[in-house]
Structure 1
Amino acid sequence: MNLIFRLLYTLLFSRFRSKVGAMDECLTPYRCWPTDLDVLRHINNGVYFSMQDLARVDYMIRMGAMPKMNANGWYPVVVSERMRFKKSIKPFQKFQISTKLAYWDEKYTYIEHKFIVNGEPVAFGMIRARFLKKSGGLVTTEELINLVGVTSERPPLSDHLKAWIEAEDRHLEAVVPAKK
């Protein structure tokens, strides 16, 4: 986590912001600071991933999941992620990150992020995550969904997410051959 002051701010103040449900969109406000910039004076591409991490922390705190996960000794790990850029975010510009649970299957949860400037999405991210137990082993998505209080059905799998999942699976099979 290279954004330590933003992390501390998130940990201190997210609990005082409006609550969200597990299936709700969570909007987290930010401003682009000079430390976020690359040589072209817009947010560095790697900073987008770190900011998504912070937005997910805000989301988990505001939905009340963080203390429950800590009590169970569970923690999330990102398995894969992708980013798509439409427009740059400039110095001192205000923006929001929209975080939403997009889908889950038997192994993974999929979280969608949108970076929004003046109501317009300017970058899009998606992560594939697993939850692990500090005692060892995996948290099933059923256990996770029950813990965070999802009462609705799983969202439909969008065509673009399905294509990304299939591409990720094919890529993994190509670089890590199955054991015989």
Structure 2
Amino acid sequence: MNVIWRTLLVILRARLRVRRGRILEASEIGRIRLTTLPTDLDILKHMNNGRYLSLFDLGRWDLLIRTGLFDIMKERGWYAVVSSETVTFRKSLRLWQRFDIESRMVGHDDRAVFMEHRAVVDGEVYARVIVRARMMRFTGGTVGHDELFAAVGVPTGMPDIDDWIHEWASASALPSTRTAAPSVWE
């Protein structure tokens, strides 16, 4: 439950930053400062691997609000869902350790947008996640890129997506929700 309070705090801070003119372009890097709390730890006394993903969501909230995308999504009845993500850990975050979450959009393919989040301490990457997300409608169905980019504009200044990210997205994809996906172990 503690992540909900952090989420609300990040949303409020992002809104304040926007009011103060600290908006971001789609290609810019968003940064928020966090501290590893006792509720973030696992039994080995370092940040739980699942908690990283929850905290990277906070970076995504900041980025969506500060780029203006969140308001456009709200107006149109859209929301984003993570369809896949991959995380790599380098170093452990310890109790009370301060760190930044750096977030940026890294591009899109024909169906999804890709984001990267990093946990950074003193300029050093401790963990990184690549996220593939799709835009959905509250009324049902997906939002195509033509409609998305008509609403927000085509992002400029984005880096090219690394080939391995396309390969990962393809290799890790599950069948469509309209297709059977039985759990059969080989």
Which residue does 2:40 correspond to in 1?
36
How far did 1:157 drift? 2.5
Q: Could you tell me how far apart the structure 2 residues matched to 1:154 and 1:168 are? A: 24
Q: Could you tell me how far apart the structure 1 residues matched to 2:150 and 2:125 are? A: 31
Q: Could you tell me how far apart the structure 2 residues matched to 1:56 and 1:144 are? A: 17
User: CA contact under 8 A between 2:102 and 2:120: conserved in structure 1?
Assistant: yes
Where do 5+ consecutive residues of structure 2 fail to align? none
How far did 1:161 drift? 1.0
Q: Could you tell me how far apart the structure 2 residues matched to 1:172 and 1:153 are? A: 32
Q: Could you tell me how far apart the structure 1 residues matched to 2:102 and 2:11 are? A: 18
Distance 1:68 1:39, change over 3 A: same
Q: Could you tell me how far apart the structure 1 residues matched to 2:156 and 2:2 are? A: 36
Which residue does 1:4 correspond to in 2?
4
How far did 1:41 drift? 1.0
User: CA contact under 8 A between 1:7 and 1:54: conserved in structure 2?
Assistant: yes
User: CA contact under 8 A between 1:96 and 1:115: conserved in structure 2?
Assistant: yes
Describe the SS at the equivalent of 2:164: helix
Which residue does 2:64 correspond to in 1?
60
Distance 1:148 1:51, change over 3 A: farther
TM-score relative to the length of structure 2: 0.86
Describe the SS at the equivalent of 1:6: helix
Which residue does 1:166 correspond to in 2?
170
Describe the SS at the equivalent of 1:98: strand
How far did 1:142 drift? 2.9
Where do 5+ consecutive residues of structure 1 fail to align? none
* Identity value in percent: 37
Q: Could you tell me how far apart the structure 1 residues matched to 2:150 and 2:32 are? A: 24
Which residue does 1:27 correspond to in 2?
31
The alignment's C-alpha RMSD in Å is 2.0
Which residue does 2:82 correspond to in 1?
78
